[in-house]
Chains A and B, each alone.
Chain A
Amino acid sequence: MRGRLIKDRIFELVVIAFSLAALVPLFVILVYVFKKGLPVINWSFLTHLPKPVGVKGGGVANALVGTAFLVLIASVTSIPLGIWAGIYLSENKNSPISEFVRVSVDVLQATPSIVVGILAYIWLVKPIGHFSALSGGVALGIMMLPMVVRSTEEVLNLVPHYLKEASLALGVSYPRTVLKVLLPSGIPGIVSGILLGVSRVAGETAPLLFTAFGNQFMNWNILKPMNALPLLIFNYAMSPYEEWKRLAWGASVLLILLVMVGNIISRMVSEKWKVKF
């Protein structure tokens, strides 16, 4: 009996040890990035363009603007479509079309980001003839779409059917019931899903490599190549210049903060603002 109890203890300790060991590299990475990147960040880092090699200073203003644009384009392309499709799935649970769309959503979610980049290239870069922020934004939108569809469907499935029945029994039309009763009850879940999607695609590099492409200069035209934080990190990290790597560390801290804040707000929205039935 004693032997078994000792074995039990040992196993528990091993599990705890492995778990802690797994968290170590993850923390090491975060600490390292912040140690390198935090000192770089100041006002001029946020408001200036990158300087040419050999010139000290410079900032990542163009990448910040670019990331904002790309996320905006991604949101415009994926959120309305995703919510609408999510409503369809939750309102038509067992139709064969729903089954097909659900599988499509699963596959889209599993599609590697580099493949999404290829798609945006075939659909938008080749026909237009050059790289553009638009194609990058659409690539990110394709990645966000399954997340929006799934969070909408899941949250609408949680809305109790008596709410819908009460509304219909009062003579409210079906479209109004969906838009004024079902959708508002599900809004926190949908918003939280969207925020999670935004913070995920904001950090994506691979779909932008041959779509948004990157740009040394400030650009406000979505039909031209545009820089983005992850692209800037990649390009400068692979460069041999210390000054550029310094910018990349600063940009890494910004990107991590952006992604984490998005994640945390998403969590807060879904927990604090949860509609209970």
Chain B
Amino acid sequence: MKKRGAFNFSLLVAALAVGTVLIAAALSMTIASLPALRAFGLKFFFSPDWDPVSNKFGALPFLLGTLITSFLALFLSLPFSLSISILSGEYLKGKKISSLLKTLVDLIAAVPSVIYGFWGLEVLVPLVRKLEISLGVAPYGVGIFTASLILAVMIIPNAAALAREVIELVPSNLKEAAYALGATRTETLLKVTLPYARGGIMAGILLSLGRALGETMAVTMVIGNSNTIPKSLFSPANTMASVIANEFTEATGDLYYSSLIAIGLTLFVVTAIFGVVGRYVVNRMKIK
């Protein structure tokens, strides 16, 4: 019996250790960002000046950069990811080709983001530059628009996989009832299946938005790294993740270092909320 106690205790310790990692993460980042938060207060999030030379730090340009690129990417990718999920979760449900499509999408989702970034830098940036010349705006090539395009391509597989999961979970008796009433497949889809899966799809969107918010490498490589508030869709900018990736190793002063960690902490809190809420909704759907 004594052995059992020791064994159970070791399990408990392991489980608590996993929880401790999270608490330690939150604590150590909070402590490290205190100098910046104390120096600037709430103004840290509303000030547009990011000037390491004169030791002034405001995160507004990066908050805006992250928000604009993520939502633009989400908006661009939504029709595509929804289509893929409807195709594999409804039209091809149960067929061999559906699982093939699923495997394909999963494999593509596994491509490391630094490679998306490299491709974006070499192929997409020159293309966007051409577009900018023909539109008559400053031809940077890099910038918010390019970053959003790459992000959109990257989150399609993600959002599609999540949405398919919940579309497949819609009970078939509901759909059959609609068919029995003479509804076409499209009508059933739009009036029964999608409304039923609405919560889960929203959760999937939330989870992919969380992914887009924290995506670092691909964005860093094509966004142009400018620390000012973006003036247009095509102007170079920085996101919260990309400014950390670019400047963390160069952060010489304590306040500089602390400000970057404060941005990291913000990112951590936001993605944590999105992650937990999204998971909660998806899990609740599954239990039903």
Interface residues, chain A, CB within 8 Å of chain B?
4-5, 7-8, 11-12, 14-19, 21-23, 25-26, 29-30, 32-33, 81-82, 84-85, 87-89, 91-92, 97-98, 100-101, 103-115, 117-119, 121-123, 142, 145, 149, 173-175, 178, 199-200, 203-206, 209-210, 213, 230, 233-234, 237-238, 245, 248-249, 252, 255-256, 259-260, 263-264, 267
Contact = CB atoms under 8 A, between A and B. Distances in A.
B244 A175 contact: no
B87 A88 contact: no
B80 interface: yes
Given A8-B185, A101-B19, A259 B119 contact: no
A112 B268 contact: yes
A107 B275 contact: yes
Interface residue tally of chain B, by bracket?
35 or more
A97 B15 contact: yes
Nearest to B217: A205
13 contacts: A16-B91, A18-B84, A22-B81, A29-B116, A84-B10, A84-B15, A106-B275, A110-B210, A113-B216, A122-B29, A199-B110, A204-B112, A255-B114
Contacts of B115: 29, 33, 203, 233, 252, 255-256
Contact of B15 (A88, A121, A255): A88
A26 B29 contact: no
Nearest to A103: B276
Contacts of B117: 234, 237
A124 to B, nearest CB: 11
B56 to A, nearest CB: 22
B80 A18 contact: yes
A60 B80 CA distance: 37
Contact of B21 (A19, A98, A145, A205): A145
Interface string B217-244: 1000100000000000000000001001
Interface in B70-98: 77, 79-84, 86-87, 91
A234 B121 CA distance: 11
B193 to A, nearest CB: 12
Given A100-B19, A106-B279, A115-B268, A11 B217 contact: no
Given A12-B186, A111-B214, A209-B245, A29 B111 contact: yes
Contacts of A248: 118
B111 A88 contact: no
A237 B79 contact: no
Interface SS of B by simple majority: helix
Contacts of A145: 18, 21
Greatest chain B CB density within 10 A among A26, A92, A248 is at A26
A242 B50 CA distance: 33
B216 A112 contact: yes
B248 interface: yes
Interface of B: 3-4, 7-8, 10-12, 14-19, 21-25, 28-29, 32, 77, 79-84, 86-87, 91, 103-104, 106-108, 110-119, 121-123, 153, 156-157, 160, 184-187, 189-190, 207, 210, 213-217, 221, 241, 244-245, 248-249, 260-261, 264, 267-268, 271-272, 274-276, 278-279
A119 B29 contact: yes
Contacts of A108: 18, 21-22, 25
A97 B271 contact: no
A95 B4 CA distance: 18
Contact of B29 (A87, A118, A200): A118
Contact of A206 (B14, B111, B216): B216
A65 B1 CA distance: 47
A106 B273 CA distance: 10
B7 A174 contact: yes
A148 B79 CA distance: 33
B241 A114 contact: yes
Contacts of A29: 111, 115-116, 119, 153
Given A106-B279, A205-B217, 12 more contacts: A5-B184, A12-B186, A18-B82, A19-B84, A110-B276, A111-B268, A115-B214, A178-B7, A203-B110, A205-B216, A234-B221, A256-B112
Contacts of B86: 15
Contacts of B23: 104
